Structure 1
């Protein structure tokens, strides 16, 4: 199949894309199969459809990229395990397949999926969920993903302030043409399918690291953190998940003191004539 035919078939698959895993995996398999000869052309097709497609098609493409990231990184891991003498990062951008393209054009893709104004609000929450997942799993550089998330939050805040300051803009946006009824029901069904998929993948089980394993374990994060000094062993998936929990844990406060006293009373109830243990 020549590159022109590959491009035509891929565009046809993208235009038929929906939220089902069968549809997504069909496109992912095609993209990986023809990556070696047409990878950059296929990526251009994805960006083009993300720019021109409807608001519903754009969020479908973002979920496609989520599966494409996972499949690309797993393919990279298996390739690295097959050649024991190959450097883990020696293949550069090509070693991670489409992940390098996604990292390069992340801001552009998100801008297409969540356009400015009220038009992009239906895709805002789902986009943030995917980006948060990528940041937690280290699929992409957490700092880069954080910058894109900050841009989305700033855009939403500016829209809310503009509507609060100018009531006429709220009325104008409310009178804007809405999606057709058929598209609304289609979006509801596809959102249900996507949310089911997200719930299935929400809990990531840590994998034990052993020096004698032949294949890399299913990592909780695809991109393990390295020590700042570059020495020692790489952090395990447990280290990564601990860091994620630590960053989202609030400081110790009075509520924590009360909870500790309650737990202590349940575990070690005071007997007659005894005084409670002083935890201060």
Structure 2
């Protein structure tokens, strides 16, 4: 089978990125193209960098999901190890820049922070990249997640997203969370108990005001029951 022409590959990949959404089938399709054409990873990665410069902030998260899909799919079988060898150094070299472009300090970047933190934490657990850099990025994103959660909910105007886009993002996040929980049951045979615990910990939702209110209500109920 003839290999695809580099120019044609860039054209096709660029078009796929332009039509990329947060829906898992589209993410899987773009990831599969990148894995299949891993010999052209340099050209395709340049497309990704160009799109991150041009895309509005909220849709940039979809590009991070594609990169995560490439790394996850490439590491699942021996036949795709060549794809991992091609893509991993490119992502590693530009890791910090990628994360900051996808979840910038601007208020619009706050809408991408939570998912970006989950993905970086997952890479951290899998030890995919330099530990020090992943630790630094994870701490930075965790702080921003805490700041956003502790201040107020993100409005449509702040996020740069329309109301219907926000609802769509919520549904897509739920679907990803469901898939993440399903994947969590598949554990490597040589995984340590600590790594397994960290993997399950990532599936636990953040502690928020609603949890405090529930605890307070339970305490009040307990005190009333004891008074009788």
Tell me the TM-score normalized by structure 2: 0.71
The corresponding residue for 2:87 is 98
Shift of 1:79: 6.7
Runs (4+) of structure 1 exceeding 6 A deviation are: 156-161
Q: 1:138 to 1:177 in 2, by over 3 A?
A: closer
The corresponding residue for 1:137 is 126
Of 198, 205, 208, 2:187 maps to: 205
| Counterpart-to-counterpart distance in 2, 1:100 and 1:177 | 32
The corresponding residue for 1:260 is none
Q: Given that residues 102 and 112 in structure 2 are in contact (C-alpha distance below 8 angstroms), is that contact kept between their aligned partners in structure 1? A: yes
Which structure has the bigger radius of gyration?
Answer: 1
Matches within 5 A, 1:57-76: 57-74=59-76
Establish whether residue 192 from structure 1 lines up as the match of residue 192 from structure 2: no
The corresponding residue for 1:17 is 20
Give the SS at the match of 1:98. Answer: helix
Q: Given that residues 7 and 45 in structure 1 are in contact (C-alpha distance below 8 angstroms), is that contact kept between their aligned partners in structure 2? A: yes
| Counterpart-to-counterpart distance in 1, 2:19 and 2:100 | 22
Q: 1:41 to 1:244 in 2, by over 3 A?
A: same
The corresponding residue for 1:225 is none
Unaligned runs of 5+ in 2: 202-228
The corresponding residue for 2:194 is 242
Shift of 1:23: 1.3
Shift of 1:110: 0.5
The corresponding residue for 1:147 is 136
What is the alpha-carbon root mean square deviation over aligned residues? 3.3
| Counterpart-to-counterpart distance in 1, 2:178 and 2:149 | 30
Q: 1:3 to 1:146 in 2, by over 3 A?
A: same
Shift of 1:71: 2.2
Q: 1:14 to 1:78 in 2, by over 3 A?
A: same
Shift of 1:144: 2.0
The corresponding residue for 1:6 is 9
The corresponding residue for 2:33 is 30
| Counterpart-to-counterpart distance in 1, 2:113 and 2:7 | 34
Q: 1:193 to 1:245 in 2, by over 3 A?
A: closer
Tell me the TM-score normalized by structure 1: 0.59
Unaligned runs of 5+ in 1: 81-90, 164-169, 208-235, 250-280
Shift of 1:6: 1.1
Give the SS at the match of 2:161. Answer: coil
How many equivalent pairs are there?
Answer: 195
The corresponding residue for 1:214 is none
Q: 1:176 to 1:8 in 2, by over 3 A?
A: same
Larger fraction in helix? 2
| Counterpart-to-counterpart distance in 2, 1:200 and 1:193 | 11
